[in-house]
Amino acid sequence: MKEYIEANKHSWATIAQEHYQTFKKTLSINESTLSQTQIQELGDIKDKLLLQNSAQKWEILRLRVG
């Protein structure tokens, strides 16, 4: 049973690392992970903080858009 738990931990660690790298790349290119629709609906959010629930994980994003 322990080997299955370790394999599961390894799989989730790999997925988390890939997600982080993709998020980091997207943020460096676009300056935001929000879609254009979300940005338009939020209005002027330049230099504001946004609390976002993404995949059951709360994140604070400093937005540089607007």
pLDDT tens digits for 32-55? 677 788 778 888 877 776 666 666
pLDDT tens digits for 13-37? 999 889 888 878 877 776 667 778 8
Single out the residue of 37, 21, 23 nearest to residue 65, CA to CA: 37
User: Using CA atoms, how far apart are residues 42 and 61, in angstroms rounded to an integer?
Assistant: 14
Enclosing H/E stretch for 5: helix 2-30
User: Using CA atoms, how far apart are residues 4 and 56, in angstroms rounded to an integer?
Assistant: 24
Domain ranges of the chain: 1-30, 33-66
Locus of tokens 């937005």: 63
Is the whole-model pTM more than 0.95? no
Average pLDDT of the chain, as a whole number: 77
User: Using CA atoms, how far apart are residues 22 and 47, in angstroms rounded to an integer?
Assistant: 23
